[in-house]
Structure 1
Amino acid sequence: MVEEIQPEAHLQGTIQEQMLYNRRTLKEITEITYESEKQEKFYTTEAMIKSIDTSDEWYYIGCRKCNKKVQKQGNHFYCPKCEKEPENTCPRYKLKLEICDLSATTTCTMFEAEAKKN
């Protein structure tokens, strides 16, 4: 059984400590069962990027306030999270990756903040 963790605990400590936080293999991560779709768990792994899926959009137009994807409505945008028309929007990375380690291969999505680090 996987131990429950505090949602913000993965952000504590140095970057090196964060990289080792709740470390699992890809096989272990992909075999975890969740009680609900909204359940959040945080794990780290060391994996290699095998490929970037370019068959789909690699960015989205996001609300500059909350970073969530906005919806185009006529000549303007609407942010469902902020529940209003955003003052500003910007393109944000959303890269679909195929990653692997020695235990498994899987897909994941890398968003803006992580994509800009690499």
Structure 2
Amino acid sequence: MTTLLGLSHDGEEGRSYSGRKVPDAKDSDLREPRTGLSSSIGTPILRGDSNDAEVPMKPASFLATAFLGIVALAHLVRVILGLEVQIGRALIPSWMSLVAFLFCGALATMLYRESRAD
């Protein structure tokens, strides 16, 4: 009988631990899980094989992507329709909405791609 880390192996079909039989692990069970970081905050995730189902976006990532996309579309609509925006006595030029469209659209796209790459 061989003892390793509190498990005794008596050469039979399984391992004995506290009088209970535990079946031997298969080769697939002994495989080390591949880990990664799901986002910049460092939350660990487990990744399966390449044929595993796709993991959906996290709720916060989805909401941020949707919000940035809606803001980007609102700025694009303002530019296309030529709507005027006035804050106090200052008139906001349309080119600022074009810049905001490009900025928010780029952020939404990057966030979407980053969440799908995990």
TM bracket (short chain): under 0.3
* Larger CA Rg, structure 1 vs 2: 2
Q: Give the alignment's TM-score, normalised by structure 2.
A: 0.21
Of Structure 1 and Structure 2, the greater helix share is in 2
Q: How high is the TM-score relative to the length of structure 1?
A: 0.21
